C-alpha cells in the first residue's frame, strides 16, 4: 500500500471513531426502539355535526277523561280521590258530561233563587258564576249559568234546573258535552253552528226536554 493511501485510510478511521464515540453516528448492530413525544394531527371534518334533540310529547286534552258521576261517587265512598279526575275545565274545551235535571225550590249555592237557565255542577270542574254551553250530540241546548251545586252533582256532570219535577224524573240521565265560556266572551251571544239543531230561547228548552223524556 502506498504511503498516500495509508494516510487517507488512517484519517478515515479516525473520523469514523470520532463520529461513533460522540453518538453522531451508530453502527447497524442489533435492534433499537425509539420513543417519540405524541404528535397532534389535525384534519378537516368529513361530516356535518349531528344535532339530536329530545322528542316533544304534547298531551292531548281530547284524550283527557274526568270522572263520571258514578266514578266520582265511588271515589268519595272509598275516601280515595284522584285530583286529576276533577281537573278544572279550560275555556273552549269540550268536556264529555252526563246531563240530568233537578226541580228543587229555594236558593242556589250562590244565594239566588232557582230559575230557568241555571245548572248545578261540580265547582272543581266547572267554576261557579261561569257560563257553559251544553250539547247533546248535534243538538245545542243553550248557554247556562253555573249557579248551584249538589251533594251528588260531582264529577263531569251537569244538573239543569227545571220547574217540573215530573219532567226532571222522566228526563233521566243523558250524555253530552259542555264547553266552558271564556270570561272575555261571556257577553258575546253564541253563534248558530253549522249542522246544529239550535234551540232559539230558554222557553223552548222545557218543551224540548219534555220531548226527550218521552223517548
Residue linked to cell 433499537? 32
The parts of the chain modelled with pLDDT lower than 50 are 50-62, 192-196, 200-203
User: What pLDDT was estimated at residue 134?
Assistant: 96
State how far the Cα of 178 lies from the Cα of 152, in Å rounded to an integer. Answer: 18
Percent with pLDDT over 70 in the chain: 61
Structural domains of the chain in order of their starting residue, each with its CATH number = 87-214 (2.40.40.10)
> Max alpha carbon distance in the chain (Å)?
149
User: What pLDDT was estimated at residue 192?
Assistant: 46
Q: Is 124 exposed, middle or buried (0-12, 13-18, 19+ CB in 10 A)?
A: middle
User: What pLDDT was estimated at residue 60?
Assistant: 44
Q: What angle do CA 89, 90, 92 make, to 5 degrees?
A: 115
Model confidence pLDDT, tens digit, residues 70-125: 999 999 999 999 999 999 999 999 999 999 999 999 999 999 999 999 999 999 99
Amino acid at each position: 500500500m502506498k504511503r498516500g493511501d495509508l494516510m487517507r485510510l488512517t484519517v478515515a478511521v479516525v473520523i469514523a471513531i470520532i463520529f461513533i464515540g460522540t453518538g453522531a453516528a451508530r453502527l447497524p448492530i442489533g435492534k433499537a426502539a425509539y420513543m417519540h413525544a405524541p404528535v397532534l394531527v389535525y384534519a378537516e371534518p368529513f361530516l356535518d355535526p349531528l344535532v339530536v334533540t329530545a322528542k316533544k310529547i304534547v298531551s292531548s286534552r281530547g284524550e283527557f277523561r274526568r270522572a263520571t258521576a258514578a266514578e266520582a261517587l265511588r271515589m268519595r265512598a272509598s275516601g280515595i280521590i284522584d285530583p286529576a279526575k276533577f281537573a278544572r275545565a279550560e275555556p273552549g274545551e269540550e268536556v264529555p258530561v252526563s246531563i240530568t235535571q233537578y226541580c228543587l225550590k229555594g236558593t242556589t249555592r250562590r244565594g239566588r233563587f232557582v230559575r230557568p237557565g241555571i245548572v248545578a255542577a261540580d265547582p272543581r270542574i266547572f267554576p261557579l258564576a261561569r257560563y257553559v254551553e251544553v250539547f247533546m250530540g248535534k243538538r245545542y241546548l243553550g248557554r247556562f249559568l253555573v249557579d248551584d251545586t249538589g251533594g251528588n252533582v260531582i264529577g263531569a256532570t251537569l244538573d239543569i234546573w227545571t220547574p217540573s219535577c215530573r219532567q226532571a224524573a222522566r228526563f233521566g240521565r243523558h250524555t253530552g258535552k259542555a264547553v266552558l265560556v271564556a270570561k272575555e266572551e261571556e257577553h258575546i251571544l253564541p253563534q248558530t253552528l253549522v249542522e246544529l239543531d239550535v234551540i232559539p230561547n230558554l222557553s223552548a228548552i222545557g218543551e224540548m226536554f219534555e220531548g226527550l223524556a218521552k223517548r
